[in-house]
């Protein structure tokens, strides 16, 4: 998988198998949650809302990456689909009779490009055009695109989104096209549980992992995930584990190839071991157990 989801699943299953051998002895209940459609579908969000995480006190998953980090910077994200409806006409014989939905999309993208100068360095706006019209000799009567808007936190995202929406409104205003914005899933920023992350890093280092960052260290913004929504409801961690893939990065074909190497297999075993040990350590630590079990998600 080009973002290492094969490794994520293997580490979760491996950690559960390892921890299950001593779970009864340490008073630990282990659950493996299969959470589909992370990339755009928000599977964890729907499962959280529908009770799949009820009674859970702590959640952990590990993500492959070019770098090893216990608390990677995972930011909030909002997805949208923008659709413009205009009026078709022959582009040579009667262009004046048309309303160009393609121009509306171009104006919106130009406005977004100019907006980037005035947004925070940690903000991100990006997207693709999924429908650009039917033929070059016809004024496009319809265009559509999918876009992601990201900020460090949900609060910052709430401030940025209206500014982006106005870029799309500008396209409609300038051309006379009609705009429809269809809201997609919203991903929260990741709130790493610092105590859990510290225990995880200690255990990962014990099995030989070498970290490029420490717990809580500020890093450049990364991607977004529905694990962020889980972390706002349940104490959670989402460390990155290196697969020694540089210069390849997530979502490149080269990264996918690195996810089925011997280095990746070693990372799966070591990540699963560290995650299992972390669950056991937390179960055996009276203060950690008291804090984590004080409130279960319901």
Q: What is the mean pLDDT of residues 255-267?
A: 97
Task: Kindly state whether residues 84 and 171 are assigned to the same domain.
Answer: yes
Task: Kindly state whether residues 174 and 123 are assigned to the same domain.
Answer: yes
Residue 43 lies in a domain: no
Within 10 A of 128 (CB to CB), how many other CB atoms are there?
9
Task: Kindly state whether residues 183 and 199 are assigned to the same domain.
Answer: no
Task: Kindly state whether residues 167 and 264 are assigned to the same domain.
Answer: no
Residue 44 lies in a domain: no
Please enumerate in sequence order all residues whose Cβ is within 8 A of that of 53, keeping only pairs 6 or more positions apart, or say none: 33, 47, 59, 230, 233, 234, 297
Q: What pTM did the predictor assign?
A: 0.91
Number of domains in the chain: 2
Tell me the percentage of the chain whose pLDDT exceeds 90. 92
Give the residue from 127, 160, 187 where a domain finishes.
187
Q: What is the mean pLDDT of residues 23-45?
A: 93
Task: Kindly state whether residues 267 and 169 are assigned to the same domain.
Answer: no
Residue 52 lies in a domain: no
Q: pLDDT digit string (tens) for 172-192?
A: 999 999 999 999 999 999 999
**pLDDT over 70 at 226, yes or no:** yes
**pLDDT over 90 at 218, yes or no:** no
By C-alpha distance, which of 9, 141, 158 is closest to 76? 158
Task: Kindly state whether residues 145 and 218 are assigned to the same domain.
Answer: no
Contact, 65 vs 242, CB < 8 A? yes
Q: What is the mean pLDDT of residues 125-150?
A: 97
Q: What is the CATH number of the domain that holds 100?
A: 3.30.70.360
Please report which residue ranges of 40-153 form alpha helices under DSSP H. 43-49, 101-115
Q: What per-residue confidence (pLDDT) applies to 39?
A: 85
By C-alpha distance, which of 179, 182, 244 is closest to 212? 244
Residue 33 lies in a domain: no
Task: Kindly state whether residues 161 and 240 are assigned to the same domain.
Answer: no
Give the residue from 141, 166, 187 where a domain finishes.
187
Q: What is the mean pLDDT of residues 63-88?
A: 96
Q: What per-residue confidence (pLDDT) applies to 25?
A: 96
Task: Kindly state whether residues 176 and 242 are assigned to the same domain.
Answer: no
Q: pLDDT digit string (tens) for 41-62?
A: 999 999 999 999 999 999 999 9
**pLDDT over 70 at 298, yes or no:** no
Task: Kindly state whether residues 146 and 68 are assigned to the same domain.
Answer: no
Residue 149 lies in a domain: yes
By C-alpha distance, which of 68, 70, 62, 72 is closest to 210? 68
Q: What per-residue confidence (pLDDT) applies to 239?
A: 97
Residue 181 lies in a domain: yes
Please report which residue ranges of the chain form alpha helices under DSSP H. 5-20, 23-26, 43-49, 101-115, 154-175, 194-206, 227-233, 253-258, 262-284, 286-293
Residue 48 lies in a domain: no
**pLDDT over 70 at 215, yes or no:** yes
Residue 110 lies in a domain: yes
Task: Kindly state whether residues 166 and 237 are assigned to the same domain.
Answer: no
The CA-CA-CA angle for residues 203, 248, 230, to 5°, reads: 50
Task: Kindly state whether residues 99 and 173 are assigned to the same domain.
Answer: yes
Distance CA 55, CA 36 (A): 20
Q: What is the CATH number of the domain that holds 210?
A: 3.40.630.10
| Terminal Cα distance for the chain, rounded | 33
Give the residue from 187, 215, 232 where a domain finishes.
187
Query: Which letter does DSSP use for residue 210 in this model?
Result: -
Radius of gyration for the chain, computed over Cα atoms and rounded to the nearest angstrom: 23
Task: Kindly state whether residues 143 and 237 are assigned to the same domain.
Answer: no
Domain that residue 89 falls in: 76-187
């Amino acid at each position: 998988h080009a973002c290492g989801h094969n490794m994520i699943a293997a580490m979760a299953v491996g950690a559960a198998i390892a921890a299950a051998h001593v779970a009864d002895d340490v008073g630990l209940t282990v659950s493996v949650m299969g959470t589909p459609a992370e990339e755009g579908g928000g599977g964890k969000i729907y499962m959280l809302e529908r009770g799949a995480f009820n009674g859970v006190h702590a959640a952990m998953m590990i993500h492959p990456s070019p770098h090893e980090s216990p608390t990677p910077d995972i930011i909030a994200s909002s997805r949208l689909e923008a659709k413009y409806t205009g009026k078709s006409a022959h582009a040579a014989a009667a262009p004046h009779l048309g309303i160009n939905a393609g121009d509306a999309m171009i104006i919106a993208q130009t406005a977004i490009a100019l907006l980037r100068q005035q947004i925070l360095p940690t903000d991100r706006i990006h997207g693709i055009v999924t429908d650009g019209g039917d033929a070059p000799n016809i004024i496009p009567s319809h265009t559509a695109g999918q876009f992601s808007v990201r900020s460090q936190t949900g609060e910052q995202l709430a401030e940025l989104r209206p500014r982006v929406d106005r870029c799309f409104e500008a396209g409609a205003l300038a051309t006379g096209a009609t705009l429809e914005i269809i809201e997609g899933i919203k991903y929260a920023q990741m709130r790493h549980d610092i105590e859990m992350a510290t225990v995880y890093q200690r255990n990962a280092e014990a099995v030989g992992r070498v970290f490029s960052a420490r717990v809580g260290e500020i890093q450049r913004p990364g991607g977004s995930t529905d694990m962020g929504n889980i972390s706002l409801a349940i104490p959670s961690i989402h460390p990155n584990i290196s697969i020694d893939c540089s210069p390849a990065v997530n979502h490149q074909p080269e990264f996918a190839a690195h996810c089925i190497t011997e280095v990746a297999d070693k990372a799966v075993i070591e990540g699963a071991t560290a995650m299992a040990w972390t669950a056991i350590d937390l179960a055996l630590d009276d203060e950690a157990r008291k804090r984590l079990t004080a409130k279960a998600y319901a």
